[in-house]
């Protein structure tokens, strides 16, 4: 923008901050939703840590470029953004829960169209968002992982306590840690077996 108005600069800076601080952002088209429907949608998203805001595409485009986000293809038609922030109880929002809230609302309100979004700096298509909506809530997912992995309880508890807000990265780290532990265990077992075989051979030779 050449000689941009201060108000536009402020909005672009606000968007950049939201992109940086949000766990994820889902873009939608809201054309046709009335005031009552918008209020209902905002309340549904707020309950799961989402915040629904309408911005001009030109300003979203500028902020996305500054944040190196590939959103150009999604900025067609009126655009509202659902940012994943905090729930009313102060806990971190859940991108899967926000995606589910949007999907469920769209079932009864065809005017709401999910365009796509961004998660971990990666662009999401509408199909990606729909796939996210099928994931269980964060708490359930972590509980399932805790039950599935065989790591000692104390170590696993420390790992969960250290989970960053970005749970997608956290789950990835958790899986890699478990795979590393299993690989180390397998290698140790193999080494011990080789050692036992060598000792047996030496005994026979003697």
Higher pLDDT, 50 or 156: 50
When the pLDDT of each residue in the chain is averaged and rounded to a whole number, the result is 78
Residue in this structure with the two tokens 């365009």, named with its chain if needed: 115
Question: Average pLDDT of 96-102?
Answer: 93
pLDDT higher than threshold 60 for residue 108: yes
Calpha distance 150→76 (Å, rounded): 47
Residue 171 pLDDT: 45
Q: Does residue 12 or residue 174 have the better pLDDT?
A: 12
Q: What is the pLDDT of residue 154?
A: 57
pLDDT at 86: 72
> Helices then strands (H, E): number in the chain?
8, 5
pLDDT score at 29 = 95
- CA torsion 6-12-18-23 (nearest 10°) is -170
- Residue 121 is encoded by which pair of tokens? 């700096």
Task: Report, in this order, helix, strand and coil percent for the chain, each rounded to 5.
Answer: 60, 15, 25
Domains and their CATH numbers in the chain: 6-135 (3.30.70.1730), 141-205 (no CATH)
In this predicted structure, what is the pLDDT of residue 135? 80
Residue 168, judged by CB atoms within 10 A of its CB (0-12, 13-18, 19+), counts as middle
Rounded to 10 degrees, what is the CA torsion of 62, 64, 70, 76? -60
d(CA 37, CA 43): 10
Strand duo 24-29 + 50-55: pairing: unpaired
Q: Which strands, in side-by-side order, build the sheet including 50-55?
A: 50-55, 79-84, 24-29, 113-119, 122-125
pLDDT in tens, 159-205: 555 444 445 544 445 445 555 665 666 666 666 655 555 555 555 55
Q: Report whether pLDDT(102) > 60.
A: yes
For the ranges 6-15, 27-36, 137-146, 151-160, which has the lowest average pLDDT? 151-160
What residues contact residue 69 under an 8 Å CB cut-off, 6+ apart? Answer: 19, 118, 121, 123
Residues 104/62, Cβ–Cβ less than 8 Å: no
């Amino acid at each position: 923008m050449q000689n941009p108005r201060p108000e536009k600069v402020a909005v672009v800076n606000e968007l950049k901050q939201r992109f940086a601080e949000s766990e994820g952002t889902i873009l939608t088209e809201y054309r046709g939703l009335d005031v009552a429907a918008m209020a209902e949608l905002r309340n549904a998203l707020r309950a799961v840590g989402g915040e629904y805001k309408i911005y001009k595409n030109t300003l979203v485009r500028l902020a996305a470029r500054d944040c190196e986000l590939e959103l150009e293809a999604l900025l067609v038609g009126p655009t509202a953004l659902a940012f994943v922030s905090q729930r009313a109880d102060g806990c971190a929002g859940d991108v899967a829960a926000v995606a589910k809230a949007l999907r469920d609302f769209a079932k009864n309100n065809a005017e709401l169209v999910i365009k796509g979004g961004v998660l971990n700096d990666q662009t999401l298509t509408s199909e990606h968002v729909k796939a996210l909506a099928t994931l269980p809530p964060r708490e359930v997912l972590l509980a399932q992982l805790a039950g599935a992995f065989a790591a000692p309880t104390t170590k696993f508890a420390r790992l969960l306590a250290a989970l960053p807000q970005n749970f997608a990265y956290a789950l990835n780290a958790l899986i890699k840690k478990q795979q590393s532990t299993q690989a180390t265990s397998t290698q140790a077992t193999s080494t011990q077996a080789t050692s036992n075989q060598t000792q047996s051979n030496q005994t026979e030779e003697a």
